[in-house]
A and B are shown apart, each in its own frame.
Chain A
Amino acid sequence: MKKTAHLILLLLATALMAWLLPLLARQSTAAPERYPFVYYSSLLRELCIIDYSDDEMPLATLSGKRFSEAECDSLLPLFNFRQLLADGKLPDAVDGVEITPPLLRSKTIIFRHNPADFASPPRRLHVLFESMPRRLGLEMPPDVFRLQENIEFIDCESNRVNAEKSARFQQAFARAGYRFPARWTTGNPSPRKAYDEGYFSLDAAGKLFHLKMVNGKPHVRDTRADAVAEIAHFAPFEPADKRFYGFIFGRRGDLYILEARDGGYHPLRLDLDSIDVARDRLVIMGNLLYWNVSVTNDSGRAYRALRAASLQRVAGHFEPRPPDPWQRLAAWIFPAYLTLDSPDDAYLWPRLHHTGRRAWAFNFLLAAAAAGLPGNRRRRSFHFAYILVAGIAGAIALLLLPRLTINK
Chain B
Amino acid sequence: MIRAICYKEWIKTRRAFLLSAILLAAYVAYALAHTGSLFRVNGAVAAWGTTILKETFLLPSALRWIPLATALVIGLAQFVPELAERRLKLTLHLPLPETRVLSIMLLHGLALLLALHLATTLLLWLVLARYYPAEILLDLGWRALPWFAAALPGYLFAAWACIEPSWIRRVTNALAAAGALSACYLDAPAGSYLTFLPCLALLVAAAFCAPFQAAARFKEGIQ
Tell me the minimal C-beta distance from B102 to chain A in angstroms: 9
**Contact of B206 with A by CB under 8 A:** yes
How far, in angstroms, from A263 to B170 measured CA to CA in the complex?
71
Least distance between B209 CB and chain A CB atoms (Å):
4
Q: State A157–B48 Cα separation when bound (angstroms).
A: 10
List chain A residues, Cβ under 8 A from B195: 347-349
Knowing A121-B190, A127-B53 are in contact, say whether A4-B132 is a contact too (CB < 8 A): no
Q: How far is the CA of A405 from the CA of B199 in the complex (A)?
A: 29
CB-CB nearest in chain A for B187: A341
Main secondary structure of the interface of A (DSSP, over half): loop
Give the contacts of A296-354 with B (CB-CB under 8 A).
340-341, 346-350
Q: Give every chain B residue within 8 A of A159 (Cβ-Cβ).
A: 44, 129-133
* A379 is an interface residue with CB less than 8 A from chain B: no
Q: Answer yes or no: A80 CB below 8 A from chain B CBs.
A: no
Tell me the residues in window 53-79 of chain B with beta carbons closer than 8 Å to chain A beta carbons. Answer: 53
- Flag whether B220 is at the interface (Cβ < 8 A): yes
Known: A1-B99, A1-B216, A159-B130. A125 touches B135 (CB 8 A): yes
Q: Does A144 make an interface contact (CB < 8 A)? A: yes
User: Which residue from A2, A20, A146, A154 sits with its C-beta under 8 Å from B213?
Assistant: A2
A124 within 8 A of B: yes
Contacts A5-B210, A9-B209, A11-B206 given; indicate if A156 touches B142 (C-beta within 8 A): no
Contact with B along A175-219 (1 / 0, CB 8 A): 000000000000001110000000000000000000000000000
Chain B interface residue count, CB cutoff 8 Å, equals: 50
Expressed in whole angstroms, the Cα–Cα distance for A400 and B166 within the complex equals 13
In-complex Cβ contact of B52 among A8, A11, A125, A157 (8 A): A125
A127, B213: Cβ atoms closer than 8 Å = no
Question: Is A120 in contact with chain B by the CB < 8 A criterion?
Answer: yes
Q: Is B193 located at the chain interface by the 8 A CB criterion?
A: yes
Q: Contacts A12-B180, A140-B46 given; indicate if A347 touches B135 (C-beta within 8 A).
A: no
- Is B88 among interface residues, defined by CB-CB distance under 8 A? no
Question: Does A102 have its Cβ within 8 Å of any Cβ on chain B?
Answer: no
Q: Which chain A residues border B47 with CB–CB below 8 Å?
A: 156
List B contacts of A127 (CB < 8 A): 49, 52-53
Q: Could you tell me if A156 and B189 are in contact, using CB atoms closer than 8 angstroms?
A: no
CA distance A123 to B212 in the complex (A): 43
**Residues on B facing A (Cβ under 8 Å):** 43-49, 52-53, 99, 129-133, 135-136, 138-139, 142, 166, 169, 172, 176, 179-180, 183, 186, 188-196, 199, 203, 205-207, 209-210, 212-213, 216-217, 220, 222
A: residues with CB less than 8 A from B are 1-2, 4-6, 8-9, 11-13, 16, 19-20, 120-127, 140-142, 144, 146, 154, 156-157, 159, 189-191, 340-341, 346-350, 400, 402, 405
User: Given A1-B216, A125-B52, list of 15 further CB < 8 A pairs?
Assistant: A4-B209, A5-B210, A5-B212, A9-B210, A13-B176, A120-B192, A125-B48, A127-B49, A142-B45, A146-B133, A157-B44, A340-B183, A347-B195, A347-B196, A349-B199
